[in-house]
A and B are shown apart, each in its own frame.
Chain A
Amino acid sequence: MAKITDFFSNIQNHDAFEALLRPHVDHLYRVAYRLTRQPDAAEDLLQDVMLHFYPKYTELRKVENLKPWLTRSLYNLFIDNIRKDKRNPVSAAVDESVLSVVADHSHHPEREAEQELMQRRLNIALDQLNDDQRDVVMLHDMEGYTLTELAEVMATPVGTLKSRLHRARNNIRKALSVEPSDLIMRVKG
């Protein structure tokens, strides 16, 4: 016989689940955004992670360090649900809000335009990377995950990640092909 929700344990578990996962919402969203590069897709992925773990609350409670666990699941869901779906090419649509973020925080029109140009170049450079290279550069160079952490998240040996990172950076350097002096001005500005 089907059981109608035992509402006491349901309320408790629901609240406890949210309390356990809420501290991870921000960093999971960041990773989801880095991978999908779209706010809607990032939120959708984040929600899928929560849904995925909801029935596993008791299991989750026993995990000492949730962050890598959750990040790995998010990455797996991303690969399974989004990347494998060829109708959803992530790189096809660069989120223009990335550009407006830069503009929003600056009141200097010149610098604004310069930074926007820089971000556009970087967006294009990132688009040109293959998926594996982009993931590692996004999560390592932008989000600050160590290669050891990423080896766990992506189930890939550190050496492989290192060479992907190396190739990714080379490709970005080439695509940016800006003079060092330009970069100095932009970063210090």
Chain B
Amino acid sequence: MKCKDVVSQIEDFVDDELSTSQHDLLRSHFESCGNCYQSWQQELIFRQVLKQYPLPPARAGLDRRAFSKLPRRPSVHKNAFIAGFGTAMAAAIVLAIAASLFLPQYSQQPVANIVLTLYESKKVNMVFDVPEQVADATVSLHLPEHIEIGGRQGLHQIEWKTALKKGKNMLSLPIVAKMATAGELVAKIKYGKQEKVFRLKLDIQKIEQGLTDSAVINRA
């Protein structure tokens, strides 16, 4: 094999791109030709230099920052257990509250009554009518200890950030009562320095009655 042909194939040799027979030809040539052997070694060193081109370690906290452009994760208070949520819901009752979100005179009194059946999950739909788009609203929900969100033990308080679109925004909230004691659902929406509080009175019944509760209160 001519040295010129060998040299032209050294790159492929190092890349392991040659056929076995060609590879063997070059290897045996290196054993007998000092110049080509040197060229081969030079190529190996060159590749090593490239391979060692440093990459500065990522700054601490990359794991967290990698996700920092995502919409913010909702935060859950206390010992709430979330994983595996997905229980079948009983027939949902619908409570629609349409209210202008940022009217300062809005009442702090309960705006509606709803009736829950003991141990039966029901979905409360709350409608928030927003005059303009809100990018970063904080929604928080608070229930008494014996009424749980999503039938999750211990989950009666939750807070998360969300965007609200202009117009009506619906929040579906499945809740379950564990004791036949009336209580209150408090939903707060905060945006900037503004805060709106909605209070729903929850009555609990022991035996199943007709699931016809439906209230629409329009304050807009």
Contact = CB atoms under 8 A, between A and B. Distances in A.
A25 B63 contact: yes
Contact of A8 (B50, B54, B85): B85
Interface string A1-28: 1111111101110110110011001101
A173 interface: yes
A166 B11 contact: yes
B51 interface: yes
B52 to A, nearest CB: 7
B74 A180 contact: no
Interface string B53-77: 1111111001101111111011010
A119 interface: yes
Given A1-B127, A5-B160, A8-B150, A29 B66 contact: yes
B83 interface: yes
Interface in A73-118: 95, 97-98, 100-102, 118
A130 interface: no
B172 A39 contact: no
A187 B74 contact: no
Q: Max chain B CB contacts within 10 Å: which of A2, A18, A95, A169?
A: A2
A186 to B, nearest CB: 7
Interface stretch (B22-30, B38-46, B107-115): B38-46
Given A4-B170, A25-B63, A172 B50 contact: yes
A176 B74 CA distance: 53
Contacts, number: 146
Main secondary structure of the interface of B (DSSP, over half): mixed
Contacts of B62: 25-26, 29, 43, 46
Given A4-B170, A180-B41, A183-B42, A14 B74 contact: yes
Contacts of A187: 45, 48-49, 52
B160 A186 contact: no
B205 interface: no
B90 to A, nearest CB: 16
Given A7-B160, A10-B160, A183-B46, A97 B58 contact: no
Given A97-B56, A101-B54, A142-B50, A12 B85 contact: yes
A169 B57 CA distance: 25
Contacts of B46: 169, 172-173, 176, 183
B164 A12 contact: no
Given A4-B139, A7-B158, A8-B150, A22 B63 contact: yes
Nearest to B68: A47
A7 B158 CA distance: 9
A5 B74 contact: yes
Interface string B186-211: 00000000000000000000000000
Question: Which 8 pairs of residues, A with B, have the shortest CB-CB distance?
Answer: A2-B165, A4-B171, A141-B50, A47-B69, A101-B54, A183-B45, A51-B69, A97-B56
Interface of B: 11, 38, 41-42, 45-59, 62-63, 65-71, 73-74, 76, 82-83, 85, 127-128, 139, 150, 158, 160, 162, 164-165, 167-172
